[in-house]
Structure 1
């Protein structure tokens, strides 16, 4: 079938575009070559089936079509959840915003990370009392930790270091959330200790004790990544987390959507969300 050959060619072309544009030749981008190979095999199988239809048991083509349709259906449902499942909420005046890291190259931060940091600065301009938790360790192919690279970019662009907390132990979204939660709790303990050292004395009857106001925490990441980050946060101790999204790279958008679908299914299966 000519449509399968066309899809295979488009997959190969897209892989080349990804490789040239971002250098992601050793990561999940190989999936596009796998898709191309599958389409070629299906095309060969289809031709063989049409030539020998009377010799092929009916259950075989039915099974292949069922598997393919199921895969497309699962992908569609997951992508609908990714882009419409995030409730629109007022994200102003949050106490902490976790900024999830992304790849750092020898030449500097990646385009995806720059978009997240620009969004973080935009948020701080409107909410100057918020603390940013910069989350990301140093990968084997990264010159510095993602958290340090984020700090350097933000400070260079005028953000005060007092507004930044660095979390440099995480290598995945699950660890981003878990370790950032620990960093926030440690910061809260430091603030309580400072308040106890400098108590405010008031005359009896001039005040009323009220419960501590719950802290409001958000997570800032690329648009395709917000849903998974929120679901992981709910599973790992931040049940009421606010999602803040930034635009993703338009050239890599389809690639990111496919990768995110696989990541969501994997995290759901292993119990991370």
Structure 2
């Protein structure tokens, strides 16, 4: 009976995570899967099924959780700032994220604050802000990013907007095309993005023939960081599959 109670608890919690507008849907999906496993174990026990089936289900669940948590740990380790080379990359890209009207989301604001710090410390540097317009957005992410940095005092001439990208690969690819048009070397790239996003962004940049370096922004609150890390595990697998 306890198995069924826990299954119901995780199912309700998963549905709540999916329905509330806090972008933790991936956590909700995983909770629903866990609820399904517990319900299946309860059903096997109720039907007096051979114990081996329950053991197989538990083993597969434990293996899956080990792989996922291991991948999340790798994302944490890899989502740190890189040591910059003696000659900093000329090509600097700030990756977009969700906007609210004409304002950046908290995640995007933290990326932009990190970009502002870098541009302030390196007055000779320019940055490509990359992000198109999503279906629920009133303008491009790049335009909001540019306006935010300009409002903080960065000269508009140091900011290049890339407004067509709809995913991380396009962010980097389209920004590189704009950089080449301006005579900027794209052999190496400094990527500014969130800690959870950095490993995949660097992987994609490498597949595009660039040597990537990263400056990361922190993610808050912690529940969002955990959810995004979980989502990135599956997004990384998708990126790997597409790059084969």
In the superposition, the TM-score normalised over structure 1's length comes to 0.78
Question: What is the match of residue 65 of structure 1?
Answer: 58
Confirm or deny that 1:79 pairs with 2:72. yes
SS at match of 2:183: helix
Name the CA distance, whole Å, in 2 between partners of 1:73 and 1:178.
34
Deviation at 1:60, TM superposition (A): 2.4
Deviation at 1:10, TM superposition (A): 4.2
Confirm or deny that 1:164 pairs with 2:135. no
Instruction: Pick from 256, 268, 273 the counterpart of residue 228 of structure 2.
Output: 256
Name the CA distance, whole Å, in 1 between partners of 2:225 and 2:79.
18
Q: Which runs of no fewer than 5 residues in structure 1 stay unpaired?
A: 190-212
Confirm or deny that 1:11 pairs with 2:14. yes
C-alpha RMSD of matched pairs (Å): 2.5
Structure with max Cα Rg = 1
Bigger shift: residues 68-77 or 90-99: 90-99
What is the correspondence of 1:171-182 to structure 2 with a 5 Å cutoff? 171-182=166-177
Question: What is the match of residue 241 of structure 1?
Answer: 212
Aligned residue-pair number: 238
In the superposition, the TM-score normalised over structure 2's length comes to 0.86
Name the CA distance, whole Å, in 2 between partners of 1:102 and 1:214.
22
Deviation sequence 1:82-130 (CA, Å, 0-9, x none): 1213573126843221000011222521111111111100111111111
Name the CA distance, whole Å, in 2 between partners of 1:11 and 1:227.
27
2:129 and 2:161 in contact (8 A); partners too: yes
1:170 and 1:176 in contact (8 A); partners too: yes
Name the CA distance, whole Å, in 2 between partners of 1:139 and 1:33.
23
Confirm or deny that 1:147 pairs with 2:167. no
Deviation at 1:152, TM superposition (A): 0.8
Deviation at 1:46, TM superposition (A): 2.3
CA spacing shift, 1:159–1:123, aligned 2, 3 Å: same
CA spacing shift, 1:217–1:271, aligned 2, 3 Å: closer
CA spacing shift, 1:86–1:104, aligned 2, 3 Å: closer
Question: What is the match of residue 195 of structure 2?
Answer: 223
Deviation at 1:268, TM superposition (A): 1.2
Question: What is the match of residue 192 of structure 1?
Answer: none
